Structure 1
Amino acid sequence: MKNFFKEAQSIEGEIIRWRRYLHENPEIGCNLPKTVTFVTSTLEKMGYSPKLTSNNGIVAVLDSKNGGKTLLLRADMDALPIMEETDLPFKSKNKDASHSCGHDNHTAMLLGAAKILMDNKHLLKGRVKFVFEPDEETTRGAKSMIDDGILENPQVDAAMAFHSMVGKFLNTGQVAYSRGPAMASADIFEITVEGKATHGASPEFGVDPINIMSHIQIALNTILSREKPQKEPVVLTIGMFNAGSVPNAIPNKASMSGTLRTFDQSVREKLKNRIIEISTGIAKSFGGNAKVEFKMGTPAVINDLDVGDEIVSYVKEVIGNENVIDFPSAMGSEDFSEILLRVPGVFLWIGMGSISQGYNFGMHNPKAIFNEEGLVYGSALFAHCAVKWLENNFSR
């Protein structure tokens, strides 16, 4: 079997250069002109014919022309609206954005895998579909690309993705795997309460939306202790509360926003309905009105046991059994879940520096620094797993 780790090491300088360009030029959401131009031109130089989706996603296919199945490999490209606070010589040139979640790593890793696999096309028994996703941070990117047909022509049979982990327990080059549920669903909601404005000295002539909202917030917390299955992980967080503009008047409206995170789809739907029922019911009882709007949502990441276990067995061939860590489900969210709803696949964490290695800041922290030595592991593992999975699932 070809040693893809050595192949990745031989192009490590290129992978790092790609990553540093992306790190210096972070872009947000679907508005990724520099990123898209860079990724497409890099793929074209390798011999690919990348296509753009409607939201500035990128798809490239490597076809062995001998039948077989199709494996999708995904990397996300978008950055966070966070100002970087590091002293890196290649720190963000965009003061309004940074790659503090490591999507620059993912894109560079997948570009590395694309180069390795193009150079070893003769080893493929099937097709690899490379997907570079925009707008993951809002959880809208994957669904939009799916609507544009990325799982078709050729039809995708399985999927795989890595996400960087830094500032936690995972050493550089190690991989963490959750069998089954990996990350929670996430639903962002906004509750708007309409009352009746009045002077602060005469509250009896109005309907206080702040009072109503406070009662709603307290009542929502009781969902977790009294209504959800006690063995089912659920997190409900209120992160925003907006009302009023002066201290001596009761406003006409108040609003608050939060997130609901679950793993079980039936629990998710039940609790979404209860948020609506509780909010509207309490508002009505105080003489006001409430409107609940679910603005964004993505389902839970559920790793397919068969594909997951198989892919992880190939990961172990490269980095050893001792460097694959069993990882419990996390309450964060990832819209790779949209792909896993439709095709079997696996979402894995790859170490880019642990606390014990001196990397003390995690993802989404403006001071986060990722260990670039982890990049070659990602490229090598993408390539190795693609060749092995296509070979062992080959059918003409």
Structure 2
Amino acid sequence: MPDIGVLIKKHTAAVVALRRYFHTYPELSGQEYNTQKRVLTELRALGIEAKPAADTGVIADIAGPAAGPVIAIRADMDALRLQDECGQTYQSVNHGVCHACGHDGHVAMLLGVAKVLAEMQEQLAGTVRLLFQPSEEEFPGGAQPLIEAGALKGVAAIISAHLWQTLAAGTIGISYDRLMAAPDAFTITVQGKGGHGSMPQQTIDPILTGAQIVMGLHTIVGRNIDPLENAVVSLGSFKAGEAFNVIPDIAVLKGTVRSFDHALRLQIFERIEAIARGISQASGASCTVEKKLGFPPLVNSPEIVKTVVEAAGELLPADHIITIKPVMAGEDFSCYLQKIPGMMIFVGSGNAAKNIIYPQHHPKFDIDETALPIGMEVLLRSALKLLNKMK
């Protein structure tokens, strides 16, 4: 068996260069055509059979000499609608589009894994399937179309890595069960009666009604939900009117619900509707409530996590493998875990000494690139261990 650490080091510079390329030329969800083209070019140059899938995604298999299990590794490819302010030579040249979540690193790491696997293909105890997935950032996401394109056909388990800024570079974060929440959304439209701001008695004020709804919604988690459960209700938008002296007809509120339990998420939406309708009725207004259930919660498979921890222990000290609490962000990697066992790890990418301190989805987000070979090696060693365990 080739020395994995030596092979990782051999390809690290190329992986860093790829990450910077993808960061310079980011593409939005469903528009990852240049990214897809570069991925296909890189894989085919290695002699790896790769095919486009789900419009802008890629599926590629690296098969060993004998029949065996199939283990999948997934990387997401899309960027955000955000102006890049990282200030580096590789800052985005695509105006208003930015890799501020680490997906550029995810694609580069998976291509690095492909480079190493191409050199040790004859030692594989089965097949490693590489999934380059589009459209993670925008609902309904790219996981389901990739599944429909055959991404999970014959796959025994799936793993993925997410670069995570709040963890220091040189560490990884793991959870044996809940990792990321279901990201749901809602819109409340309050219909009042507009009029002149100097004569409020002639109106039904949707701004005042909306403000009372906002206050009411913030009681749900504190007063209706078991305090031992994980749940969030947050408002992100409240729009009404344009003129300082006009009471408008309509106010529109938009927000998000985050939870891990399906029954709980439905309970929260019932309370949102009851509060909105009750306050509107009391104010003489009416309202509509629209809900959008997002991806399911991301819950790791404990047995797969144990194998990944074993693999990580081959290159990291025990105190650099950190058991973390769940986060309330969402991820459509959960769609794969509804079908087969698997897990996602967080790869630390923050470094205060290098001023890499800005969180995901911030214009100045960047990563400590020393995280890339760590993520590559953990994914690679995990896949090899799973191939041997599941054959």
TM-score, length of structure 1 as denominator length: 0.93
Match 1:283 to one of 280, 283, 291: 280
The one-letter code matched in structure 2 to 1:23 is: H
Structure 2 contact 307–385 (Cα < 8 Å) conserved: no
| Cα deviation code 1:227-252 (max 9, x no counterpart) | 11111121111011000111222211
Aligned runs of 1:221-300 on 2, under 5 Å? Answer: 221-295=218-292, 297-300=294-297
> SS in structure 2 opposite 1:247?
coil
- Between the aligned partners of 1:142 and 1:268, the Cα distance in structure 2 is 22
- Between the aligned partners of 2:53 and 2:189, the Cα distance in structure 1 is 35
TM-score, length of structure 2 as denominator length: 0.94
- Between the aligned partners of 1:123 and 1:281, the Cα distance in structure 2 is 65
| Cα deviation code 1:72-113 (max 9, x no counterpart) | 101111111221213311211112111121111110000010
Aligned runs of 1:341-356 on 2, under 5 Å? Answer: 341-355=338-352
1:120 is aligned to 2:120: yes
> SS in structure 1 opposite 2:313?
helix
Please list every run of 5 or more consecutive structure 2 residues that lacks an aligned counterpart in the other structure: none
Aligned runs of 1:1-396 on 2, under 5 Å? Answer: 2-64=2-64, 66-139=66-139, 140-152=141-153, 155-166=154-165, 168=166, 170-295=167-292, 297-355=294-352, 358-394=355-391
- Between the aligned partners of 1:277 and 1:156, the Cα distance in structure 2 is 44
What is the count of residue pairs matched by the alignment? Answer: 390
Structure 1 contact 159–344 (Cα < 8 Å) conserved: yes
The one-letter code matched in structure 2 to 1:271 is: I
**Distance apart, 1:186 and its partner CA:** 1.1
> SS in structure 2 opposite 1:339?
helix
Structure 1 contact 71–128 (Cα < 8 Å) conserved: yes
Distance 1:286 1:10, change over 3 A: same
- Between the aligned partners of 1:100 and 1:226, the Cα distance in structure 2 is 35
- Between the aligned partners of 1:201 and 1:146, the Cα distance in structure 2 is 58
**Distance apart, 1:289 and its partner CA:** 2.1
The one-letter code matched in structure 1 to 2:156 is: D
The one-letter code matched in structure 2 to 1:364 is: H
> SS in structure 2 opposite 1:378?
helix
**Distance apart, 1:55 and its partner CA:** 4.0
Structure 1 contact 55–141 (Cα < 8 Å) conserved: no
Please list every run of 5 or more consecutive structure 1 residues that lacks an aligned counterpart in the other structure: none
| Cα deviation code 1:286-316 (max 9, x no counterpart) | 2322122224612221111111112211111
Structure 1 contact 216–282 (Cα < 8 Å) conserved: yes
**Distance apart, 1:372 and its partner CA:** 1.5
Structure 2 contact 195–247 (Cα < 8 Å) conserved: yes
**Distance apart, 1:66 and its partner CA:** 2.4
- Between the aligned partners of 1:315 and 1:108, the Cα distance in structure 2 is 19
The one-letter code matched in structure 2 to 1:97 is: V
Percent identity of equivalent pairs: 33
- Between the aligned partners of 1:345 and 1:389, the Cα distance in structure 2 is 10
Aligned-CA RMSD value:
1.8
**Distance apart, 1:263 and its partner CA:** 1.7
